[in-house]
């Protein structure tokens, strides 16, 4: 080997860096905003409120770009933050929702609200029964079931909810079984 070749070989790093550059904020948003929105929407059941929660989650990501988790755990971190922000939002809006519900009950009898069309009635009843059945499930089973329904892997669910990955499968199975039992009692088919 010539002297120039030896010098060239010695100047090369021992290991070639194969690490991809970290995701930018725009890339992270593009990849994960739908999952964050769906998770928020499944918890708060209101698209407008879910949009606000999604915005808050990505603001937190932007503020903490330097301390965010690695790319492989970013989705789990975002969904964990989403669940926390959504739960805090629900806690903060409980009184407001109670007042709104009471107002709607009082004004429905006075003719202020138009009745739902007949074709939507059965769908609305089914949705309400499903929500009531989900509300009766205990928390780890409910969250596992919702996240699995959204297509997350067992590992992502475990990271999001801080439970063991080996427990996720049984939580999902027990959640499905309990949901079917509760839904049957409420009046579902």
Distance CA 86, CA 98 (A): 17
Q: Domain spans of the chain?
A: 22-94, 116-189
pTM above threshold 0.75: no
Distances (CA, A) of 174 to 86, 140, 151, 182: 24, 10, 18, 12
Q: How far is CA 170 from the centre of its chain?
A: 20
Here the tokens at position 124 are 């609305």
Judged by average pLDDT, the poorest of 32-36, 104-108, 134-138 is 104-108
Torsions phi, psi for 144 (to 5 deg) = -60, -45
List, as one string, the DSSP characters of the chain: --HHHHHHHHHS-SS---PPPPPPHHHHHHHHHHHHHHHHHHHH--HHHHHHHHHHHHHHHHHTGGGPPPHHHHHHHHHHHHHHHHHHHHHHHHHHHHHHHHHHHHHHTTT-SPPPPHHHHHHHHHHHHHHHHHHHS-HHHHHHHHHHHTT--HHHHHHHHT--HHHHHHHHHHHHHHHHHHHHHHT--
pLDDT band of residue 67 (cuts 50, 70, 90) is confident
pLDDT attached to residue 189:
53
Tell me: domain 22-94, CATH 3.10.20.30, correct?
A: no
Per-residue pLDDT tens over the stretch 125-161: 888 888 888 888 888 899 889 888 888 889 989 988 8
Per-residue pLDDT tens over the stretch 71-104: 778 888 899 999 999 988 888 777 666 777 777 7
pLDDT attached to residue 49:
92
pLDDT attached to residue 81:
92
pLDDT attached to residue 113:
52
Question: For the domain with range 116-189, which CATH number is right: 1.10.10, 1.10.3470, 1.10.357, 1.20.81?
Answer: 1.10.10
Distances (CA, A) of 171 to 64, 135, 145: 32, 16, 8
């Amino acid at each position: 080997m010539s002297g120039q070749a030896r010098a060239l070989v010695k100047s090369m790093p021992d290991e070639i860096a194969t690490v991809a550059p970290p995701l930018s904020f725009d890339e992270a948003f593009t990849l994960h905003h739908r999952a964050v929105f769906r998770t928020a929407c499944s918890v708060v059941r209101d698209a407008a409120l879910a949009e606000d929660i999604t915005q808050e989650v990505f603001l937190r990501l932007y503020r903490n770009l330097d301390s965010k988790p690695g790319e492989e755990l970013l989705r789990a971190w975002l969904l964990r933050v989403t669940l926390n922000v959504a739960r805090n939002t629900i806690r903060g809006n409980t009184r407001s929702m109670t007042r709104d519900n009471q107002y709607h009950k009082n004004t429905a009898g006075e003719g202020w609200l138009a009745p739902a069309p007949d074709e939507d009635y059965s769908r609305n009843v089914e949705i309400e029964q499903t929500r009531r059945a989900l509300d009766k499930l205990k928390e780890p089973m409910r969250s596992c079931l919702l996240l699995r329904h959204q297509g997350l892997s067992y590992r992502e669910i475990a990271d999001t909810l801080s439970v063991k990955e080996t427990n996720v499968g049984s939580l999902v199975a027990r959640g499905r079984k309990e949901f079917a039992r509760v839904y049957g009692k409420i009046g579902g088919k």
